[in-house]
Structure 1
Amino acid sequence: MSTINMDLSRLIEETSKEIEFSGVIGVKTGDDLIYSSGHGYSNRSDEIMNTAETRFGIASGCKLFTAIAICQLIQEGKLRFDSKLKDCLPIVFPDFHQNVTIHHLLTHTSGIPDYFDEEVMEDFEELWQKNPMYHIKRLKDFLPMFQDDVMMFEPGERFHYNNAGYIVLGLIVEEKTGLEFSEYIDKNIFLPCGMKDSGYFSMDKLPKNTALGYIDQENGTWRTNVYSLPIKGGADGGAYITIKDMFKLWEGLFSNQLLNKEYTNLLLEPHIAAEDEGKFYGYGIWIRKKNDAIFKYHLMGYDPGVSFNSAVYPANRLKTVIISNESMGPYDITCAIEKEL
């Protein structure tokens, strides 16, 4: 093992211990796995440990899957980036702007109302007081939460992270293919990449080796997140994956296995500047620049009892996957790795 790899491993171990990390961490240089570790319990009650085989929810980390699906349909000629929402779905959105396009939805610039606006609401669990989470099984089940609300701003005016926009994109995938969204992703993304352990699983029938998400209370007690999230994930988040499968996804994307070179490049292009300096958004993916060069392509996901961070650092030929079954942790480990880079 090289000195750099040893230093990186030591740094990850120290940080994981310091923050009492629960989850899994994987680091690859090129095709070589240089670091892998599991921490904490996937099931606290039965004291089952997290391992490289454990499946974890990744929340918004799977917006990339939705963006890839849309780009596949555009590549096939079934849609265009400038296709208007009103021409793609038979669903009526009474107060949505007529000029909202696929590009706007992909880049969080549509201005449509969001069912969970992260700048206004802090607690994702508030949503399920009026709309029981066990009723949210299909993408159409999200519609009553935003369909009749008014626009936040004019399409294309600015970047504003929007979960509902990705629900709408998922509905477009269903409309254009005749498949349920999760079925389309299974067949056209997970299967071609060999991601055999990944899927949009229902929380009331999770497969074996799936970590339960944990919410720690201030008084030292804890509970699982089973009543905190939709019963089944949708086009804006909620798939379950393993670290091995996440590496396969990155490899499938960057080798033009999922999209041809033209559309892979379009997906990875920094289309819009986001909130922070040097931070951009492509299609379903965050992009960080340093000195006008791409420092990393990355995905993030946060839900009650779920935290996820995965990145590709082109100049360093490095890929990282960090997933937790608690509400925090991957960000701290990512920062420690980047300090070493």
Structure 2
Amino acid sequence: MDKQMNWNRLAKKQKELQFSGSIHVRKYGKTILSDSFGYAIHSEKIVNQTHTRFSIASGSKIFTSIAICKLVEEGKITFDNQIINCLDIDFPYFDEKITIHHLLTHTSGVPDYFDEDEMDDFEVLWESLPMYRVRCAKDFLPMFQYEKMQAEVGTSFKYNNTAYIILGLIVEHISGMDFADYIEENIFQKAGMTESGYFSMDELPESVSIGYMEKPDGTWKSNIFSLPAKGGPDGGAYVTATDMGIFWEALMNGRLLSEKMTRILLTPRENVVEDIFYGYGGYMELNEQGVVKYIQMGYDPGVNYRSVHYPNLDLTIVVCSNKSEGAYEMLKEIESLIENK
């Protein structure tokens, strides 16, 4: 794609959306478009830049999946292991038949601490458990440990955040490492994602964007009281858009998992709707020939993330935003530009 030729159209979309964030487009290992818009910190008029780090909410679930796949590859667990045999934590009302496979594919039926079909205000979660006390996977346990199953194990796909908290607990128990440290050592460092990490919101490093939510009167407030103090297995890593381009290259080139395990990670398993499926590594779109693109998305108050990787084109598009909306529309505009170049 020729950046100059298409810039006016992309700029028009950015202004229309008042998009705030970063975009990165990578093909055959080369950056073909990288740009940023809006403010990382509104009050100080600090602008977003290509090295600005953004929270990507559930977009980081794939890191948890890769961690599990790595432990399977090392022979420490299997996808068919029941969770009661992988943890020393008691879940008295959980079905003993729940396996790691069920957790990865959102078919476990465990109670979701944030059921997106039933709730739309993330801040309500922290009325009984203050967000500043949630800094690791075990801190989530009071929100679901003694709750009853919300569905039978092995039933159809239903997106579930609790499942990934449990997967993170398994990573910690089996590896003997803190979850964030395990991801840093086994994914970020190996992929070359030098700017990425799991950061506490009250101890943010340099070049990090603050998430913003629009209020009814058109002004903005930050999301500091809307999210856990530190991200974990179900979401909340901070990355640059460039780092996510690097991540997809490392994953597809076998630097994170073996070729066989990478195929297992990216195999379609659950039909979500029409041509959209879910595998251990997230969503994907299929046609008669196979996978068209892998799809990553993340949404939190003040956080909006979208990324796609087209395996047959070796093309990756990443859009990170520190507002609640806009990433999807920017992604579709970029896809349209590339398709009609």
Q: Which residues in structure 2 correspond to 1:84-233 (within 5 Å)?
A: 84-233=82-231
Please tell me whether the aligned partners of residues 288 and 295 of structure 1 are also in contact (alpha carbons under 8 angstroms): yes
Residue number in structure 1 paired with 2:323: 326
Q: CA deviation at 1:291?
A: 3.9
Residue number in structure 2 paired with 1:255: 253
Q: CA deviation at 1:172?
A: 0.2
Q: Which residues in structure 2 correspond to 1:37-52 (within 5 Å)?
A: 37-52=35-50
In structure 2, C-alpha distance between the alignment counterparts of 1:51 and 1:130, rounded to whole Å: 37
| Aligned partner of 2:32 among 25, 34, 37 | 34
Residue number in structure 1 paired with 2:332: 335
Please tell me whether the aligned partners of residues 286 and 297 of structure 1 are also in contact (alpha carbons under 8 angstroms): yes
Residue number in structure 1 paired with 2:306: 309
1:149 is paired with a residue whose SS is: coil
What TM-score does the superposition give when structure 2 sets the normalisation length? 0.96
Residue number in structure 2 paired with 1:237: 235
Q: Percent identity?
A: 49
Query: For residues 63 and 10 of structure 1, do their structure 2 counterparts lie closer, same or farther at Cα, with a shift above 3 Å needed?
Result: same
Please tell me whether the aligned partners of residues 318 and 331 of structure 2 are also in contact (alpha carbons under 8 angstroms): no
In structure 2, C-alpha distance between the alignment counterparts of 1:140 and 1:133, rounded to whole Å: 13
2:312 is paired with a residue whose SS is: helix
Q: CA deviation at 1:338?
A: 3.1
2:33 is paired with a residue whose SS is: strand
Q: CA deviation at 1:247?
A: 1.2
What TM-score does the superposition give when structure 1 sets the normalisation length? 0.96
In structure 2, C-alpha distance between the alignment counterparts of 1:97 and 1:212, rounded to whole Å: 40
2:152 is paired with a residue whose SS is: coil
Structure 1 segments unaligned to the other structure (5+ residues):
none
Q: Which residues in structure 2 correspond to 1:61-100 (within 5 Å)?
A: 61-100=59-98
1:24 is paired with a residue whose SS is: strand
Structure 2 segments unaligned to the other structure (5+ residues):
none
Matched positions, count: 338
- CA offset digits 1:114-172 (Å, max 9, x no partner): 10011111111110011100010111110010111111222111100000000000000
Residue number in structure 2 paired with 1:287: 284
1:316 is paired with a residue whose SS is: coil
In structure 1, C-alpha distance between the alignment counterparts of 2:248 and 2:180, rounded to whole Å: 19
In structure 1, C-alpha distance between the alignment counterparts of 2:160 and 2:289, rounded to whole Å: 27
Q: CA deviation at 1:44?
A: 0.6
- CA offset digits 1:234-269 (Å, max 9, x no partner): 100001001121111111100111100110000000
Please tell me whether the aligned partners of residues 284 and 295 of structure 2 are also in contact (alpha carbons under 8 angstroms): yes
Q: Please tell me the residue identity of whatever aligns with 2:244.
A: M
Please tell me whether the aligned partners of residues 56 and 325 of structure 1 are also in contact (alpha carbons under 8 angstroms): yes
Please tell me whether the aligned partners of residues 8 and 337 of structure 1 are also in contact (alpha carbons under 8 angstroms): no
Query: For residues 8 and 261 of structure 1, do their structure 2 counterparts lie closer, same or farther at Cα, with a shift above 3 Å needed?
Result: farther
In structure 1, C-alpha distance between the alignment counterparts of 2:30 and 2:7, rounded to whole Å: 14
Please tell me whether the aligned partners of residues 193 and 249 of structure 1 are also in contact (alpha carbons under 8 angstroms): yes
In structure 1, C-alpha distance between the alignment counterparts of 2:185 and 2:225, rounded to whole Å: 29
In structure 1, C-alpha distance between the alignment counterparts of 2:257 and 2:20, rounded to whole Å: 34
Q: CA deviation at 1:7?
A: 5.2
| Aligned partner of 1:12 among 10, 20, 33 | 10
Please tell me whether the aligned partners of residues 195 and 249 of structure 1 are also in contact (alpha carbons under 8 angstroms): yes
Q: CA deviation at 1:292?
A: 4.5
Residue number in structure 1 paired with 2:263: 265
Please tell me whether the aligned partners of residues 276 and 285 of structure 2 are also in contact (alpha carbons under 8 angstroms): yes
Q: Which of 27-36 and 48-57 deviates more?
A: 27-36
CA RMSD of aligned residues (A): 1.3
Q: Which of 190-199 and 201-210 deviates more?
A: 190-199
Please tell me whether the aligned partners of residues 9 and 35 of structure 1 are also in contact (alpha carbons under 8 angstroms): no
Q: CA deviation at 1:307?
A: 0.4
Query: For residues 153 and 45 of structure 1, do their structure 2 counterparts lie closer, same or farther at Cα, with a shift above 3 Å needed?
Result: same
2:145 is paired with a residue whose SS is: coil
In structure 2, C-alpha distance between the alignment counterparts of 1:205 and 1:191, rounded to whole Å: 21
In structure 2, C-alpha distance between the alignment counterparts of 1:11 and 1:315, rounded to whole Å: 26
Q: Please tell me the residue identity of whatever aligns with 2:310.
A: Y
Q: CA deviation at 1:6?
A: 5.0
